[in-house]
Structure 1
Amino acid sequence: MKTCEYCDEIDYHEIIECITCALDAKDPYTAGHSQRVSDMAMKVCQLIGLKTENIQQIHIAAHLHDIGKIGVPDAVLNKEGKLDDEEWEAMKKHPSIGAEILSKSRHLKEMKYIVLCHHERFDGKGYPLGLKGEEIPVGARIIAICDSIDAMTSNRSYRKAHDFDYCYQEIKNNLGKMYDPIIGQYVLDHWEEIISVIKISR
């Protein structure tokens, strides 16, 4: 039977939309967060000059980066206040859970390693694998910065949103630690272009 490429494309985006809506229903904070992170990640990719196919892959991976939180208990996900050690360990499982979910789809499995690594740190102190520097996929390094920008400048149950000046300084202070120093500096050099993406959507 002949395959309809157009139908596959429609189904592909419907799958992504259904998955992210399910996560939004579970965790109110994520409503809009994944979209903003994916939009920023795409802007960073375009400014850096990545190939179209790589931009598309990173854009989708960013949209799905937190999908593993579906497997995190509600009491942990929606807790007001600081997580204890046991709760934090449960939360840290979400990249692995997300990668496992994506591995089940022939359309999405190429993004699973990016999703798995989006909480790795450039200095090797991240999770779940403790990867360092360029061992971390470039898509995950881009998403890590965009994720932090949106998280810092959003209201959370345990704190008010920080302003963009504070966020800029935090990114700058953590170049080579949490963030890729080259990609991070590129983000800082194009700061207004990148944050305009989420200012519009809020």
Structure 2
Amino acid sequence: MSKTDSKAEDYIDYHEIIECITGALDAKDQYTANHSWRVSELAKKLCEIIGLSNSDTNELHIAAHLHDIGKIGIPDSVLKKEGALTPDEWELMKKHPAIGYEILNKSNRMKQISGIVLHHHERYDGRGYPEGIKGNDIPLGSRIIAICDSIDAMTTERSYRSILSPEECYIEIEKNLGFMYDPFIGKYILEHWEEVIKPFLDLKNCI
């Protein structure tokens, strides 16, 4: 068997694992499961635009599917709360990247992915969580998921805030480059905005 065939089989195996894990997440919170699926599709598209290898793209696609898996460990009273979280509830919610890391890091085949999941809420300026790392110290996959995660959140209606238009979302991404988001990644997504956002919103409308 060639190395290419082996990697393809590994990818299929990974997706079988993903379907099992995300099935559990879907049973707990359908919004989170659908959100993770949309983020994974957007992240895959962004990887293709940036020109990442198939191997790196596949790995990130998987990590994006699983980036919120730690929310399985968040109490329903917090996860499904209608309205803004209290400071104590927010501290509980912020534990989900570390919970996801602990779940995935138990598998040798998921160790790389677990690190991407752990850091997907870090900020480029170091003001994120859980570890407050910044810039290129944040794994590339985490930096890509962070911007895709924000795009889906901003363009999704929630009970506690209004949906943003694609134009408003563009402005929010642009003004936060170098602060929340990696400016290199942000440049790619803004330069290819129509190519990225139209199929993404079409995808959202299908759910």
Matched with 2:81 is 79
Q: CA deviation at 1:183?
A: 0.7
Q: Partner of 1:31: helix, strand, or coil? A: helix
RMSD of aligned C-alpha atoms?
1.7
Q: Partner of 1:46: helix, strand, or coil? A: helix
Structure 2 runs not aligned, ≥5 long: 1-5
CA contact (8 A) 1:62 1:143 kept: yes
Matched with 2:140 is 138
CA contact (8 A) 1:39 1:197 kept: no
The letter of the residue matching 1:31 is: A
Report 1:9-20 matches (<5 A).
10-20=12-22
Q: CA deviation at 1:51?
A: 1.5
1:17-75 deviation per Cα after TM superposition (whole angstroms, max 9, x unaligned) = 12112112212321321111111111111111111111111111011000000000100
Q: Partner of 2:157: helix, strand, or coil? A: coil
CA contact (8 A) 2:14 2:62 kept: no
Q: CA deviation at 1:112?
A: 0.6
Structure 1 runs not aligned, ≥5 long: none
- Are the structure 2 counterparts of residues 61 and 7 from structure 1 closer, same or farther at C-alpha, using a change threshold of 3 Å? closer
Distance, in Å, in 1 between the alignment partners of 2:184 and 2:29 is: 33
- Which moves more between the two structures, 103-112 or 47-56? 103-112
Report 1:116-127 matches (<5 A).
116-127=118-129
Q: CA deviation at 1:163?
A: 1.3
Distance, in Å, in 2 between the alignment partners of 1:196 and 1:107 is: 34
Distance, in Å, in 2 between the alignment partners of 1:12 and 1:144 is: 22
Report 1:13-162 matches (<5 A).
13-162=15-164
The letter of the residue matching 1:147 is: D
The letter of the residue matching 1:198 is: F
Aligned-residue identity in percent: 63
- Are the structure 2 counterparts of residues 117 and 80 from structure 1 closer, same or farther at C-alpha, using a change threshold of 3 Å? same
Q: CA deviation at 1:7?
A: 7.3
Q: CA deviation at 1:193?
A: 1.4
Matched with 1:176 is 178
- Which moves more between the two structures, 179-188 or 8-17? 8-17
Q: CA deviation at 1:109?
A: 2.0
- Which moves more between the two structures, 31-40 or 69-78? 31-40
CA contact (8 A) 2:97 2:118 kept: yes
TM-score between the two structures when normalised by the length of structure 1: 0.93
* Number of corresponding residues: 199
CA contact (8 A) 1:65 1:115 kept: yes
- Are the structure 2 counterparts of residues 135 and 7 from structure 1 closer, same or farther at C-alpha, using a change threshold of 3 Å? closer
Distance, in Å, in 2 between the alignment partners of 1:168 and 1:7 is: 38
TM-score between the two structures when normalised by the length of structure 2: 0.90
1:130-154 deviation per Cα after TM superposition (whole angstroms, max 9, x unaligned) = 0110000111000000000001101
1:166-195 deviation per Cα after TM superposition (whole angstroms, max 9, x unaligned) = 111100110000000111111111111112
